Structure 1
Amino acid sequence: MSQLESQAPYVDAPPPSSSGLSSRTLTMAVTGILAIVLGGVISLLPAPYAIYAPGPATNVLGKVGPLELITINPPTKSFRPVDGSTLDMTTVSVFGGPGNKVSMLDVLRGWISPTRAVVPVEQVFPPGQTQGEAQAETQAEMSDSQQQATAAGLRLAGYTVPEKITIADVSKGMPAAKVLKADDVITAIDGTKVVDSAHLRATVQKLKPGADVRVTVRRNGTSTELKTTTGSSDGRTVLGVDLKTTYDFPVDVEFATKDVGGPSAGMMFALGIYDLLTEGDLGAGAQIAGTGTIDGAGNVGPIGGIAQKLVGARRAGAKWFIAPQSNCNEVVGHIPAGLHVVSSSNLTQTRDDVEKIATGDGASLPVCKAS
């Protein structure tokens, strides 16, 4: 033993007190209480997450309060179904984000919930976005969705819907930036009249990147033919412009949507408009739900939160659900019992799917499979 160790006094631990708690027991008790308090405080602190939960499903052929969700004027052109069919638009309730922070306790509950999803808040809301900006963005998306749905629904019902394709912005670094300007209205490509935005994109896609192209635009009321060169983006041929489409509708379509934003109801809006403008009941009494973006040409696009929308649809009583084909990987493994999910990529196919469901031939429809 070293000298230092031999000089160190040896002290026995005090015997347990018969009159109260030992110091060790007291320390453990205090530590436990502090841990509980600290855990409670942490659970209430804001967390950098957003939570997706199943939202309500609303029949686009029905009413929101005293108002029809979709109204077509003049009313004589509308054939409202009477057989009890529903075409339900589905929604997701989002908790978290600007002005609506969630706590760690909420996040923990979301993680263990079989019907909710927890994602980093920046996947839903851009950094620094305010509550007002978020609401304005989702309302703008809803408004554009309704315009696109109206064009698609009317066209499917046989109406001619002229559209004006305006350049909203030109990408810097693209050849077109030297000749095309914001607010130019594109009327022709290489001398061929542009019918709609889908036709414009298809025409450009037929060209190779770097190819010469003649773009006819209306600028300040004057038609001008401009020469430029195509570019490339993600393997696609592009002009390098962002487009803004406005329509000249032959009938007025109004929507009574409230407290709902985003573009994902577009497909069901368009389907509802078609049903209202054509005789008979498209669904023949079936309760069908669905989701998907839409463009004026009737193309159905992907949406977010589809797992929660499937749950919301089943809770509302739907037995059939039409999902965007591009969301199929997220559908597989998340289908509630009693719900049959079919996939669709365009509005014509969606209409045909509903007709088959109405005639009892739904089992033949394409279903979602993992790719």
Structure 2
Amino acid sequence: MNARKLLTGGGAAGTAVRWGLLTAAVMALLLYVPTPYAAYEPGLAFYTKPLVRAARPDEPGAGAFMLTTVQMSYANAWKSIRSFWDGDIELVRKRDLFRGGSKAEFVERQTVMMRGSQTDAVEAAYMEAGIPYQIEPYAVVVSDAGAAGGALQTGDEIVFFGGRPITSLRELTLALGRGTVSGQAHVAVIRGGKKKEVSIKLSAGATADQQAIALGVRKLTELRRMLPGNAEDEVEIQSGEIGGPSAGLMFALQTLDELTEGDLTAGLRVAGTGTIDAGGKVGAIGGVAHKVVAAHRAGADVFLVPEQNEQEAIAKAAEIGTGMRVIGVGSLREAKRVLTEAGG
């Protein structure tokens, strides 16, 4: 029997082939046809100790700190349908997520935010531990180029402006102030690990202290390093491909644990999330329900969460029936205190 007869015949074989082709077509539609959505789902929990390199690390304790992540992927039709009954899938429009830009720009924004968050985590830990330090700016990065898509791109590190080296926002302000902020300017940047020179049109009417506006981008970020008075107190955080600012609290706790005697974990497996500023204040994050699931799957005893996200996290913990304790905190000092109490 030839292929034509299989497709057109009225027998059982022809019917089976037609159903097979129909099934294949439906599966292809569900799995491979793109949708306008991205999907957030629970990610993984990572131990923070291997990511925080201290010059003089403290002895490992009985417990551990873990940061939690959210997994983001493009949603096919099947995942979009599953989201109606699967509470672990959260859909968001790509255009809202990427804010008019590309996925590559989104990743670059997340990377720059993580680099800034690491510095704030170390500074907050130094302040809490009473360790003297100095702040040294070392780079100015385009953290958000905006949707206009000019010569400068998200993630560009500005190294020269008008022939002058740039390592801080103050130096960029001075460079802009030396002439009228208008016309053309030559800028050297590091992009993708390589040096590149671009010519940009400065925005007319912008003042020297409006650096981002002058350069035609949405936001610039000054990256800094903390220089402790004693070299033995130096700490470096290497987050790998983890992006965004929401690991700040857990990095600060791990750094503080490395800088001080004793076991800050109180012998517990402590997962958590939350931004942190240089003064130790913990800020709200997105995707907290997914991170509760990630912490539960990793076997955490305690999940630390920003106060603003506490009720949502508690509700998700109750929904999945975890025995993990969810505790809201507003600062690094408060997180330290609740861990001491939890261990007692």
**Structure 1 and Structure 2 fold alike (TM over 0.5):** yes
Q: Alpha-carbon deviations, 1:179-208, whole Å to 9, x = none?
A: xxx9448xxxxxxxxxxxxxxxxxxxxxxx
Residue 346 (str. 1) matches residue 331 (str. 2): yes
Tell me by how many angstroms 1:30 deviates: 12
Matches within 5 A, 1:230-249: 244=222, 246-249=224-227
- Contact kept? 1:59, 1:87, Cα under 8 Å: yes
Residue 57 (str. 1) matches residue 45 (str. 2): yes
C-alpha distance in 1 between matches for 2:329 and 2:271: 13
Q: Match for residue 95 of structure 2? A: 122
C-alpha distance in 1 between matches for 2:26 and 2:77: 10
C-alpha distance in 1 between matches for 2:34 and 2:256: 45
Residue 321 (str. 1) matches residue 303 (str. 2): yes
Matches within 5 A, 1:81-96: 81-82=60-61, 84-96=62-74
Tell me by how many angstroms 1:31 deviates: 11
- Contact kept? 1:87, 1:268, Cα under 8 Å: yes
Q: Match for residue 111 of structure 1? A: 84
Q: Unpaired runs of 5+ in structure 2?
A: 1-8, 11-15, 143-167, 176-218
Name the amino acid aligned to 2:272: G
Higher Rg: 1
Q: Which runs of 4+ in 1 moved over 6 A?
A: 29-35, 164-169
Tell me by how many angstroms 1:129 deviates: 1.4
Matches within 5 A, 1:1-371: 39-43=26-30, 44-61=32-49, 63=50, 69-73=51-55, 75=56, 78-82=57-61, 84-96=62-74, 102-131=75-104, 133-163=105-135, 183-184=169-170, 244=222, 246-250=224-228, 251-335=233-317, 336=320, 337-359=322-344
Name the amino acid aligned to 2:130: G
- Contact kept? 1:111, 1:117, Cα under 8 Å: no
SS in 1 for 2:303: strand
TM-score (norm 2): 0.65
Sequence identity of aligned pairs in percent?
Answer: 31
- Contact kept? 1:148, 1:295, Cα under 8 Å: yes
Name the amino acid aligned to 1:255: I
C-alpha distance in 2 between matches for 1:270 and 1:115: 28
Higher relative helix content: 2
Distance 1:33 1:315, change over 3 A: closer
Q: Unpaired runs of 5+ in structure 1?
A: 1-19, 22-28, 64-68, 97-101, 170-181, 186-217, 221-240, 360-371
Tell me by how many angstroms 1:244 deviates: 4.2
C-alpha distance in 2 between matches for 1:35 and 1:270: 55
- Number of residue equivalences: 256
C-alpha distance in 2 between matches for 1:300 and 1:79: 24
Q: Alpha-carbon deviations, 1:311-346, whole Å to 9, x = none?
A: 110111102111001123432421132121110111
Q: Match for residue 159 of structure 2? A: none
Tell me by how many angstroms 1:150 deviates: 0.6
- Contact kept? 2:276, 2:283, Cα under 8 Å: yes
SS in 1 for 2:236: strand
C-alpha distance in 1 between matches for 2:220 and 2:47: 33
SS in 2 for 1:274: helix
TM-score (norm 1): 0.61
Distance 1:340 1:130, change over 3 A: closer
Q: Match for residue 175 of structure 1? A: none
